[in-house]
Amino acid sequence: MTIQSVIFFDIDGTLLNHDKELPLSTKEAIYKLRENGHVVAIATGRAPFMFKDLRRELDIGTYVSYNGQYVVLNDEVIYTKPLNLQSLEKLTEAALKHDHPVVYMDHEDMKANVPEHAYIKESILTLKIDRYPTYDPHYYKGRELFQSLLFCPEGEEKRYEQDFPDFDFVRWHPVSVDVLPRGGSKAEGINRIVKKLGIAPERHYAFGDGLNDMEMLQTIRNSVAMGNAQSKVKEAARYVTKSVEDDGILHGLQLVGLL
């Protein structure tokens, strides 16, 4: 009899290859995990509306989104951690002075504080999603936001890190950083799920490739870095599998003995 485990997968560069496609070997491996009685979950920096189709394709109803700020177990929201709106308003004012646009994001949509900007287009289009932020500079008012995007060249986020201690800034693109509540992480979101599931730590697994996966990989007992990950991400994990382009998920699941 199979002992139930829970496996968390990042999306970009982990489940999806660099063309934002789901390899057939990955899809079949996910189905096999579920057939064997395991809990399959997602842990991503993406907003929930950015991976609806993927959840539907893989039949996944448990996920950590916004790098831990919006957590769902079996299609029910169990934890949220919104941004401080007063600090976000001040951040927006500061960013406008430097021609750094901001995108506001809740669980349903995203809106930009400027009508258009080259940085927004350059970064958002790399996600290859069917959603693009439209203009609404007041979208942050009167609603809970779980992440913002600050668009600025590499290194320029340092000024914001010093002035806005309520936030963590995590770069995901050469001209864009995630703005998150201080101390929020995929690891914290995962912790909320595993406590509810009651699965022992030795049966926790996580796969990732990005800088925002490092705390998750350091925290989860059986962590696997993708072969396409940066060296410091690989150093944070217990195991290293092949590249996402080279059946990395299937190989990694075999490596840790789940398949």
Identify the active-site residue in 10, 12, 178, 209: 10
10 is catalytic: yes
Q: Which amino acid is at 58?
A: L
Which is it for the CA torsion 61, 65, 68, 71, positive or negative? Answer: negative
Strands 239-240 and 204-208: unpaired
Strands 147-150 and 167-173: unpaired
CA distance 93 to 91: 5
Q: Which residues are catalytically annotated?
A: 10
